[in-house]
Amino acid sequence: MAKSRAQRRSTALRQTASPVSAPAGASSDLALLPLGALMLAASMGAMAQSGTPEATMSTVTVQEAAEVQGKDTLLLKKTTVGKGNQDIKDIPQSVTVFTEKLMNDRNQDDFREVLRTTAGVTFQSGETGEEDVRMRGFSLGLAGDIYVDGMKDAPLIERDTFNNDRIEVLKGSASMLFGKGSTGGIVNQVNKYPLLIDQHEVSYTFGTGQFHRATGDFNFKTGENAAFRLNAMVQEYDNYGAKQDKRGIAPTFAWGIGTRDEFSIGLYYLESKGRPLYNHPWRVVDGKINTPLDARNYYGLASDHNDTSSQYVTLGHIHRFNDNGELTTRLRYGKYERDLLASTIGFQNGNITLGQINGNTVLTRGSKGRMGESEVLQVQSDYNNTFNWGGRKHALLAGVDYYDDDAKRNQNYANTTPRPNTTVGSPNDGAWVADGRAPVQWNTFTSRNLGLYLQDTVSINDTLKLVGGLRYDNFKASYKNATGALSNSRSDSLVSPRVGLLFQPTELTSYYVSYGTSYNTSGDTYQFGNPGTTTARTANTDPEKSRNFEIGSKFELFERRALLGVAAFYSQKYNERNTDPDTAAQQELLSGKRHATGMEFNLAGRLTPQWELFANHTWIPSAKIDHSNVVVPANGGGAQAQGDRPGLTPKHSGSVWTTYAVTSKIRVGAGVTYRGK
């Protein structure tokens, strides 16, 4: 497909208005309003900001009006990935944060590009933009482990970073916090939020492959404690025939910022219309896959397309109690759509050798289609507080979340209209075929999940903290295929514990050990099949379970301008249902048990006043399918069997990015991303 943005970009122009400082004034206290009255409160927000209260209420400590923004630094010491605004050093797991500044410096406008620079992350290829992401060798995207502001994002959709303040990556089991999935970790996209300043930024980028991108970030202070923020994006490229046009807009209005009751309403819309380069033909030479054709050549049809849209509305409310407790509630409704129709390219002569390939070699065009729609309703409420009880300091997290997902899928919606052949010497020949697909027949999948969770971080003494948490989930799902021949449902109730111990001898150092569990339901693939049949990939079976042990340390260095993290981990999964990547997603890998053992290294921050550095590396020396029922065919077949190293689990992976300020207005930067076998 097209080259990465960093490769194709030739220059960028950016104009930023200097922020206008504003005092962090506190508005009068408001009575606690139910979330259902949010829209009514919006119309009265400006009046309430300046009105005089009739009754005096207890004093409430307000937050800072302007928090540290992701666009200002490579290092953020606090994160919301633990369902609260925590110090990273207080989380007993490995955490990596990609700030807006880092993403802008590296020209990462696509979600996939950010994750490709994350150590330990790999991608399942061949699905034209679907983020089937693997972390530490375990599925991330298909398992539903991608989030927006702590709430589940739909799987297998197009994403963009235009509205991201930062992207947070939590490694290891996280079911205690987020529920099903999360064996290798989770990824949380943090959206931009209104600030009590006036700040505007516009950027335009152009590059090779007819690449053009314009973004705008406009923040307006509309009242003493109210602000409006608008982010927008337009992008186009045509890379030798493979192309994509994207449009995005995300307005958010917040009022009562920093006061007892803070409300917000945000809208998000992202549309992507593309022409996918689905695959190139390949040959096996000496046991290795060889793709002999120029990677930039497009042999698909002009009528091929991959169109997606994501739209959601989020209502938010924060209530701050007199004892410094904070209750954060979000309600989100979203609709997600996708329509893929692509050409699968192959050699007409299935026995052709590399030496026989020339410009007249005939290529066939098959058809690959997929359609999907999802409607998702979510509500989440988290209570955070710190207090003294029993002679100990406690940091309490208690919460509830619920989601309702109604999904429709057609996994093999191919076009039966005859498709013309082409030749190696005629890429992007402009051939077009009408979409002759019959009216779509939907497989339907409905799921409901209720989660309750509680976590306490107890300060045993000045240097020792104990973390303990427990989550209960009740998951119900039903599936019916398009013909009605297959109909299944199931219900699962699961408990997920998490424990950790932190030793912090100084303010600058933290050592930890932790244990957590996770699980994956058989509904993660949005369908159920019958156990023991050829549809074992979608078998209606009990959830898979995993556990993760981790020991590590975090250090603040260079006068607290940088944060270093080092961790060793052991992750193990039981009775895993995982499609074997070596057999084009047709062979189900029922490994029974597998593990991955390794170490991680993260460093981010400013080493000198002029020099900034971001580096992360994952080393997995041991990864193995410990028990498997897979029998390798006589011809090899590409299947993985007991004793093999799992696919998409490289021994070494990581990235480095560094910048140096030559003057106050000129910075130079360079970086490298690498991934082993």
Give me the CATH code for the 194-423 domain, please. 2.40.170.20
Percent of the chain scored above 70 by pLDDT? 81
Averaged pLDDT of the chain: 85
Give the pLDDT confidence score for residue 436 in this predicted structure: 87
Q: What are phi and psi of 288, to 5 degrees?
A: -120, 145
Using pLDDT thresholds of 50, 70 and 90, give the confidence band for residue 67: low
Q: Which residues contact 488 (CB under 8 A, 6 or more apart)?
A: 478, 479, 528, 529, 530, 540
Phi-psi region of 223 (alpha: psi -120 to 50; beta: other; left: phi over 0): beta
| Residue 2: per-residue pLDDT | 40
Q: Shortest CA distance to 419 belongs to which of 429, 411, 410?
A: 429
Structure tokens at 453: 């969770």
pLDDT digits (tens, 9 = 90+) for 461-477: 999 999 999 999 999 99
- Does the pLDDT value for residue 45 go beyond 70? no
Q: Is 677 exposed, middle or buried (0-12, 13-18, 19+ CB in 10 A)?
A: exposed
Element (H, E) at 46: helix 38-50
Geometric angle at alpha carbon 151, from 98 and 91, rounded to 5°: 55
* Residue of 81, 171, 83 whose CA lies nearest to 516: 171
pTM of the shown model: 0.87
189 pLDDT higher than 90? yes
CA distance readout (Å), 599 to 88, 115, 619:
18, 18, 5
Lowest mean pLDDT among 52-56, 181-185, 267-271, 589-593: 52-56
- Which of 288 and 47 is assigned the larger pLDDT? 288
Is it the case that residue 623 has pLDDT exceeding 60? yes
Question: What does the domain layout of the chain look like in residue ranges?
Answer: 194-423
The closest of 477, 469, 476, 320 to 399, measured between CA atoms, is 469
Nearest to 19 by CA among 251, 263, 253, 227: 227
Report the C-alpha gap between 47 and 34 in whole angstroms.
19
Residue 500 half-sphere exposure, CB side, CA atoms within 13 Å?
A: 33
Q: How far apart are CA 484 and CA 213, in angstroms?
A: 45
User: Closest by alpha carbon to 648, among 172, 156, 138?
Assistant: 138
> What mean pLDDT do residues 403-430 have?
91
pLDDT at res. 52: 38
Structure token digits, residue 147: 């989030």
Find, among 522, 524, 636, the residue nearest to 575 by Cα. Answer: 522
Q: d(Cα 376, Cα 389) in Å, to the nearest integer?
A: 40
Per-residue confidence (pLDDT) for residue 57, from 0 to 100: 40
DSSP 297-320: ---S-TT-EEEEEEEEEEEEEEEE
**What is the pLDDT at residue 412?**
73
Average pLDDT rounded to a whole number, residues 260-269: 99
pLDDT band at 1 (very low <50, low <70, confident <90, very high): very low
Query: pLDDT value at position 631?
Result: 63
Helices (H), 106-189: 111-116, 175-178
